[in-house]
Amino acid sequence: MNNNFLYYVFTSDSFFNQIKKEMHGVNLPRVSPKKLSELIIPLPPLLEQNRIVANLNNVCAIIDKNI
């Protein structure tokens, strides 16, 4: 498993939207461990994860360079 791939998944809007749907509580929003274990995490083959990470790293470098 590519750790950078997981980083990109965990910081994605689609993952956050899944979390947001399961949050409860007002002062300290939280998600139960059971609900966390039911979240969908896409996991393509390792070579594809590596390609995705390489592409995202390139895009991020271009964005950083232009900021």
Looking at residue 63, what is its pLDDT?
94
User: What is the maximal distance between C-alpha atoms in the chain?
Assistant: 42
Host domain of residue 47: 3-66
Query: How would residue 67 be classed by pLDDT, with cut points 50, 70 and 90?
Result: confident
Sign, CA torsion 33/45/60/4: positive
Looking at residue 40, what is its pLDDT?
86
How does pLDDT run across 29-41, given as a tens digit for each residue? 899 999 999 998 9
Domain count, the chain: 1
DSSP tag of 38: T
How does pLDDT run across 5-15, given as a tens digit for each residue? 999 999 999 99
What pTM, to 2 d.p., does this model score?
0.80
